[in-house]
Amino acid sequence: MISYKKEFIEFIHNLQDEICESIENEEEKEKFKEDIWERPEGGGGKTRIIENGALIEKGGVNTSIVFGTLPEIMQKQFKVKEGDFFACGISLVLHPNNPFIPTVHANYRYFELYDNDHKLVDMWFAGGSDLTPYYYYEEDAIHFHQINKNTCDKFDAKFYLKYKKSCDNYFYNQHRDEARGIGGLFIDYLRPTSTHSEKFWFDFIKSVGNGFLASYLPIVKKRRENKYTRENKDWQEIRRGRYVEFNLIHDKGTLFGLKTNGRIESILMSLPPRVQWVYNFKPVKDSAESKTLDILKTPKDYKLN
């Protein structure tokens, strides 16, 4: 196995800069604030947060590079007794002000595992993105999925449907029997094989990450001037409650971070600033809100090129 540590670190830092710069170019009021932190056990990261902007109510674009002795919970997960690890990645969540602009989440990660002699014994790539609209627009959903499919098709025509299905299955609030959003790509444990090398998987994840802005920014630009009411904001905040429920009940990354002495502020930056939980709330029948909710009950397949 060939380590892609150096290449992946360069990739996530370049992508962090590109995404933050692009969002700031659209934002009329605020800039990202950077918080550089260190992990006592080894490594650290760059957390970049934007809050109370004209476009983005709250968002974070974070990179981390951590290493050290494998925590006990990870030993059990990977079924090893001891060893060291290295992990790096970028994770982002953007919660816009306008309820007609969807929330978006993405992350791209790389992991290495070593034996007691610090020999590389396992490695994998992972990543993806998903969209959470509060008001459903078919053309926005098609655009987001089409960009993802275009990227996947450059590597393997089977990848898009495979990783879309994984996303539909993962970002699902089982306790509500509804999806968190309209999906995207969920890619995990991409290891080198006899047919797909380390470089193949690195190039694939890098391409998926580099396609993020093309999948999301056109939707932002199209919906940012939509007029909205207090009722629209109330619906957005009620749906944000479902977002919080997923992250705190089901999301493996959040739970893993909390159980392994992760950096709490960076882990919980994904949570929106204002949320409502209204008892037994049901939208008006045949309203835009109820139609969005209907879409979230069953994963949808889109007619793409």
Number of continuous H segments (helices) and E segments (strands) in the chain: 10, 9
Strand order in the sheet with 33-38: 33-38, 43-51, 56-69, 84-96, 103-114, 120-132, 183-190
- The tally of CA atoms less than 13 A away on the side-chain side of residue 159 is 23
Residue 180 near residue 253 (C-beta atoms within 8 A): no
Maximum Cα interatomic distance, the chain, rounded to a whole number of Å: 63
Taking the C-alpha atoms of residue 49 and residue 62, their distance in angstroms, rounded to an integer, is 8
Backbone angles phi, psi at 272, to 5 degrees: -70, 160
196 is catalytic: no
Which residue of the set 13, 95, 105, 250 is catalytic? 105
Taking the C-alpha atoms of residue 37 and residue 43, their distance in angstroms, rounded to an integer, is 9
What DSSP string runs through 155-218? Answer: T-TTHHHHHHHHHHHHSEETTTTEESSSEEEEEEEE---SSS-HHHHHHHHHHHHHTHHHHHHH
Nearest to 85 by CA among 97, 71, 99: 71
Helix, coil or strand: residue 80 = coil
Nearest to 216 by CA among 98, 102, 137, 50: 102
Annotated catalytic residues are 105
